[in-house]
Amino acid sequence: MLEKMMQLQVLINGLEAEKFREFYYGKFFTGDITIVDSGETCTLSFHLGECVSVVKGIPNTGVDIGVSGSKEDWEKFGTHKSLSVATNKGNTNNLTTMGGAIRFRQNFNVVAQLIRVYAGIR
């Protein structure tokens, strides 16, 4: 998973940078986004929309915001790529939000675009 996260970092800072920072307001985001896929955990650290580091696991500071899911949950997300649908409790094979609910909602677009790009490379 760490290799995929490194690819994600390259994409978010490269080909996807303008869309991520401008259209999805990533330029305002500073903090950590943790992704859990089938029990494997990685955290991407951002400063003003630039991914500055990727670490395996959860940082010592804990989870800022993030998304977790099983293999089946991520595969289902890949079919529709809607974070709103994927985190709706009424659906089966949901992704689960992590971290503070208010902070997650404030940065919803940033997280949504990041995991859309991740779903494309996983």
Tokens of 69: 């899911």
Structurally, the chain folds into a number of domains equal to 1
Q: Give SS3 for 23.
A: helix
Is the per-residue pLDDT at 112 higher than 90?
A: yes
Q: Is residue 9 a contact partner of residue 3, using CB atoms and an 8 Å limit?
A: no
| pLDDT per position as a tens digit, 86-105 | 888 777 889 999 999 999 99
At residue 90, the pLDDT reads: 79
| pLDDT per position as a tens digit, 2-51 | 999 999 999 999 999 999 999 999 999 999 999 999 999 999 999 999 99
Give me the mean pLDDT over the 63-91 stretch: 91
CA–CA distance, 117 with 16 (Å, rounded to integer):
8
Which range of residues forms the domain containing residue 112?
Answer: 2-121
CATH code assigned at 65: 3.30.1050.10
